[in-house]
Amino acid sequence: MPPFKQSAATLTTGLLALTLMSSNASAAVITFDGLTGATADPLSAYTEDGFTVTPTLGEWKEAHVFGNPLPSIYVSDLGPDTPFGNLQITAGGGLFVFNALDLQAFNSGVGYEIRGSLGGTVLFSLPNSQAPSPGFQTLTGGGSMVIDTLTFDISSGGPGSFNVDNINLTAVPEPSAYLMLLAGLGLLPLLRRKGSGQ
């Protein structure tokens, strides 16, 4: 194969591979549509689209009468100014980006902190608060930082309940997948030369 055609073939293959690689970054929204219990049933670990939501503090429950849309999950607080609700989101050891989640505060305001970690190191921390509201508000953050664990802590200023819905995440390929792909692309010209006997 002439050098020009070989370079064009390698470039085409590389562009195709990069297109496939970018399509591997797939968005997912945890909507809690797979919840099968009734309102106020305890929530244990819940998995949807490859992501697992695990309550690590507080009595999280299923909500089938309020959501954005139905269902959602919620946690209640009876005392002021104490951390009382914590969720941890993981992707089975995989990497992802945090885009947004929906939060609704009933009866009292809520303080929260969203943290993204990679290998146990916190890469971002987003503390904020939300006043009581009749509907959900979308919390965004994290930018393009790649993490393996998302933690969501809630503390309130008084008795109330707080619903969470639509946790928006984007799964990304492992760095090793990129390295293997690039190594494979680097070997293509060599394989072509051997195949043509040059």
Q: Cα–Cα distance between 88 and 60 in angstroms, integer? A: 12
Residue 150, C-beta contacts closer than 8 angstroms, at least 6 positions apart: 88, 89, 90, 96, 98, 114, 115, 116, 117, 142, 167, 169
| Tens-place pLDDT, residues 45-96 | 999 999 999 999 999 999 999 999 999 999 988 665 566 899 999 999 899 9
Q: Is 121 in a helix, a strand, or coil?
A: strand
Residue 55 is predicted with a pLDDT of: 97
All structural domains of the chain: 26-177 (2.60.120.430)
pLDDT of residue 16: 36
Q: What are phi and psi of 142, to 5 degrees?
A: 95, -25
78: left (phi over 0), alpha (psi -120 to 50) or beta: alpha
Tokens of 108: 């009292």
* Per-residue confidence (pLDDT) for residue 18, from 0 to 100: 42
Strands 137-140 vs 83-90: parallel, antiparallel or unpaired:
unpaired
Q: pLDDT tens string for the chain (198 positions)?
A: 454 444 444 443 443 344 334 445 789 999 999 999 999 999 999 999 999 999 999 999 999 999 999 999 999 886 655 668 999 999 998 999 999 999 999 888 888 999 999 999 999 999 999 899 889 999 998 889 999 999 999 987 678 889 999 999 999 987 655 544 445 555 555 545 555 555
User: What pLDDT is attached to residue 60?
Assistant: 95
Cβ-based neighbour number of residue 45 at 10 Å: 10
